[in-house]
């Protein structure tokens, strides 16, 4: 572009053109350095046709074609100041539908105008007082303001690990840490949905809430999978929830970057690829460091590769004075935390009651071994009582007969009790077990003989039937019950009789012809072939059957 346009561009360089006239600064903070450099290199060449695809806009399913929008008030200002109107970048940011300058809803133009050389030309519509509608949703305006701030902030590409750590640290500070290292993302998703009112009236609501099984899955991806390409909309929503502004987010990123660089340059930092275990110093040296009053717990942690909490725990176990951080945990607060721990309250509730973090509660719990054991015992007893009551309620539910049915309804309680309270479970289940009826073994020879006598009787009845019916295996067994269909391998005589007495289609036709001839002989003396065919009622008359009937006619003439 620089070679073709030369000095016609209103910018000093291609980088200035990208910075001022494109939306790439909006996406840049969430791209790594290598990817952004490759995009800039491709933008200068002829490989810029699939930039949206490589930005991840197609895979993120937020839409790649933003409709042309304009603010009527901005159009009026442009005409008054410049004599013409033009498209504004801030009006074409993804998910933005209002103007942050005039607090007006953006108008959309979808019909292209005919330009020079037959090419479609799009330009903003003329201002109209009737089109100026103030947006009703405060979230829409706040999101538009945040998007515009991101575009104008000109942030550089942010390291994926730094961005992930910034999100993680702020979530932990807000009390979403479920254990020492993991975050409760389900609780985070619930708070985000409440904070944004389920993204009501937002055009990407359905995409953000997908899927129904795990809504807001993208929140966990932002923290745990920073290398995954996610749309800036997801990052902006997280920034709004955690920081409230782009400026605060930028400061947090700068602090994280400075901390990482300082740690990397420190002589006591853990080298990349090394583990804390590989850098453990001998016990005597740790003991010497612990008893050195000139060293703080943080300094000892940096030298030994252990956490600050571990060093604090070691010093308190040795009755070494640790400086109190009174604004966080004092003696009175620690006593209150101890009483709450013994009472069996949840750790999150204890943290909220005492105004400390959940990590502090875990630290206090690790210091006091007696309190920890007593709490574990109390929680176990409370859980055992609760699960016992629930399981007995399932057993006494009307319509529940037997342990198998009860297990299908209270499978979790059964599994827990079987693992931790098996003796009580087996004793309680004994009186609710369904009685199992024991059936005797089958006397197959006797059943074989019984079925043989029945099939002989059935055979005689079928032979006497008028008009004759074909004697098939199904017809022979139709009056014998279902037992005749089972386990014929154990009924050899019955199976042989069925094979012997069942008729083939040819033998059945001959029997029908004989029956017809005998009936005609009794009624009249003149026997013709056509009369036999009508009396027999057979549709198919093969040549051999006609010959057989003719021989029978000749015998009676």
Q: Are 230 and 223 in contact (CB under 8 A)?
A: no
User: What pLDDT is stored for residue 417 in this prediction?
Assistant: 92
Q: Is the peptide bond before 467 cis (omega within 30 degrees of 0)?
A: yes
- The candidate with the shortest Cα–Cα distance to 402, out of 361, 441, 437, is 437
Q: Flag whether pLDDT at 327 surpasses 60.
A: no
Name the β-bridge partners of 489: none
Q: Flag whether pLDDT at 118 surpasses 70.
A: no
pLDDT, mean of residues 131-150: 73
User: What pLDDT is stored for residue 283 in this prediction?
Assistant: 62
Q: Are 161 and 227 in contact (CB under 8 A)?
A: no
In this prediction, residue 310 has a pLDDT band, given cuts at 50, 70 and 90, of confident
User: What pLDDT is stored for residue 200 in this prediction?
Assistant: 81
Q: Flag whether pLDDT at 169 surpasses 90.
A: no
Q: Flag whether pLDDT at 182 surpasses 80.
A: no
User: What pLDDT is stored for residue 267 in this prediction?
Assistant: 40
Cα within 13 Å of Cα(25), Cβ side:
19
In this prediction, residue 181 has a pLDDT band, given cuts at 50, 70 and 90, of low
Q: pTM for the complete prediction?
A: 0.46
User: What pLDDT is stored for residue 255 in this prediction?
Assistant: 85
Cα within 13 Å of Cα(247), Cβ side:
1
Q: What is the pLDDT of residues 485-518, one digit of tens each?
A: 667 778 888 888 888 888 888 888 888 888 888 8
Kindly provide the b/e burial profile for residues 145-164, where b requires at least 16 CB atoms within 10 angstroms of the residue's own CB.
Answer: bbbbbbbebebebbbbebbb
Q: Flag whether pLDDT at 550 surpasses 90.
A: no
User: What pLDDT is stored for residue 125 in this prediction?
Assistant: 58
Q: Flag whether pLDDT at 59 surpasses 70.
A: no
pLDDT, mean of residues 403-416: 89
Q: Flag whether pLDDT at 276 surpasses 70.
A: no
In this prediction, residue 416 has a pLDDT band, given cuts at 50, 70 and 90, of very high
In this prediction, residue 213 has a pLDDT band, given cuts at 50, 70 and 90, of low
Question: Looking at 46-55, 172-181, 441-450, 523-532, which range is the least confident one?
Answer: 46-55
Question: Over the chain, what is the mean pLDDT?
Answer: 78
In this prediction, residue 389 has a pLDDT band, given cuts at 50, 70 and 90, of very high
Cα distances from 404 to residues 124, 391, 414, in angstroms, run 71, 13, 11
User: What pLDDT is stored for residue 131 in this prediction?
Assistant: 45
Q: Are 517 and 549 in contact (CB under 8 A)?
A: yes
Question: Looking at 259-263, 274-278, 475-479, which range is the least confident one?
Answer: 274-278
pLDDT, mean of residues 518-537: 82
Q: What is the pLDDT of residues 82-92, one digit of tens each?
A: 888 778 888 87
Q: Which of 110-119, 264-273, 313-322 has the highest mean pLDDT?
A: 313-322
User: What pLDDT is stored for residue 286 in this prediction?
Assistant: 81
The residue among 224 and 211 whose pLDDT is bigger is 224
Q: Flag whether pLDDT at 243 surpasses 80.
A: yes
For residue 100, what are its two tokens? 């942050």
pLDDT, mean of residues 163-173: 87
User: What pLDDT is stored for residue 105 in this prediction?
Assistant: 83
Q: Which helix (H) or strand (E) holds 105?
A: strand 104-105
Q: Flag whether pLDDT at 529 surpasses 70.
A: yes
Question: Looking at 4-8, 316-320, 431-435, 503-507, which range is the least confident one?
Answer: 4-8
| DSSP string across 115-146 | -GGG-EE--PPPP-GGG------HHHHHHHHH
In this prediction, residue 415 has a pLDDT band, given cuts at 50, 70 and 90, of very high
Q: Flag whether pLDDT at 273 surpasses 70.
A: no
Q: What is the pLDDT of residues 23-36, one digit of tens each?
A: 888 888 888 777 77
User: What pLDDT is stored for residue 9 in this prediction?
Assistant: 61
In this prediction, residue 4 has a pLDDT band, given cuts at 50, 70 and 90, of low
Q: At what angle do helices 422-430 and 369-395 cross, to 10 degrees?
A: 10
């Amino acid at each position: 572009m620089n070679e073709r346009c030369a000095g016609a561009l209103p910018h000093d360089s291609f980088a200035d053109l990208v910075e001022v006239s494109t939306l790439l600064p909006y996406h840049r903070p969430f791209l790594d350095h290598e990817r952004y450099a490759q995009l800039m290199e491709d933008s200068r060449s002829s490989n810029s046709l699939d930039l949206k695809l490589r930005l991840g806009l197609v895979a993120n399913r937020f839409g790649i074609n933003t409709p042309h929008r304009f603010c009527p008030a901005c159009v009026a200002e442009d005409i008054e100041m410049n004599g013409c109107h033009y498209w504004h970048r801030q009006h074409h940011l993804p998910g933005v539908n209002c103007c942050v300058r005039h607090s007006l809803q953006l108008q959309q133009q979808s019909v292209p105008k005919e330009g020079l050389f037959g090419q479609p030309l799009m330009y903003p519509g003329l201002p109209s007082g009737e089109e100026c509608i103030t947006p009703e949703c405060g979230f829409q305006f706040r999101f538009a303001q945040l998007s515009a701030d991101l575009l104008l902030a000109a942030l550089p590409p942010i390291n994926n690990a730094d961005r992930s750590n910034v999100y993680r640290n702020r979530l932990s500070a807000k009390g979403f840490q479920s254990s020492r290292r993991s975050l409760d993302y389900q609780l985070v998703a619930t708070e985000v949905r409440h904070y944004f009112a389920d993204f009501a009236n937002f055009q990407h609501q359905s995409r953000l809430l997908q899927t129904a099984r795990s809504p807001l899955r993208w929140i966990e991806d932002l923290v745990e999978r920073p290398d995954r390409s996610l749309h800036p909309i997801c990052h902006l929503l997280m920034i709004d929830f955690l920081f409230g502004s782009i400026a605060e987010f930028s400061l947090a990123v700068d602090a994280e970057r400075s901390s990482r660089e300082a740690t990397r340059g420190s002589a006591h930092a853990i080298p990349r690829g090394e583990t804390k275990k590989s850098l453990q110093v001998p016990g005597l040296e740790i003991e010497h460091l612990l008893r050195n009053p000139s060293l703080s717990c943080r300094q000892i942690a940096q030298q030994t590769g252990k956490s600050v909490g571990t060093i604090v725990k070691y010093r308190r176990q040795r009755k070494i004075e640790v400086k109190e951080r009174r604004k966080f945990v004092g003696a009175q607060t620690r006593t209150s935390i101890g009483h709450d721990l013994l009472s069996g309250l949840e750790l999150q509730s204890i943290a909220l009651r005492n105004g400390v973090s959940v990590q502090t509660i875990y630290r206090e719990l690790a210091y006091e071994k007696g309190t920890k054991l007593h709490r574990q015992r109390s929680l176990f007893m409370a859980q055992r009582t609760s699960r016992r009551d629930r399981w007995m309620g399932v057993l006494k539910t009307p319509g529940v007969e037997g342990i198998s049915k009860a297990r299908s309804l209270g499978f979790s309680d059964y599994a827990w009790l079987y693992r931790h309270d098996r003796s009580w479970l087996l004793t309680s289940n004994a009186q609710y077990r369904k009685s199992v009826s024991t059936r005797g073994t089958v006397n197959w020879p006797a059943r074989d003989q019984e079925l043989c006598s029945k099939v002989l009787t059935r055979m005689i009845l079928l032979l006497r039937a008028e008009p004759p019916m074909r004697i098939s295996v199904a017809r022979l067994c139709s009056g014998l019950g279902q037992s005749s269909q089972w386990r014929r391998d154990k009924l050899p005589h019955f199976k042989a009789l069925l094979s012997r007495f069942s008729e083939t289609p040819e033998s059945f036709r001959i029997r029908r012809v004989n029956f017809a001839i005998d009936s005609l002989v009794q009624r009249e003396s003149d026997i013709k072939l056509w009369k036999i065919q009508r009396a027999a009622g057979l549709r198919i008359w093969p040549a051999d059957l006609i010959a057989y009937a003719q021989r029978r006619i000749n015998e009676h003439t």
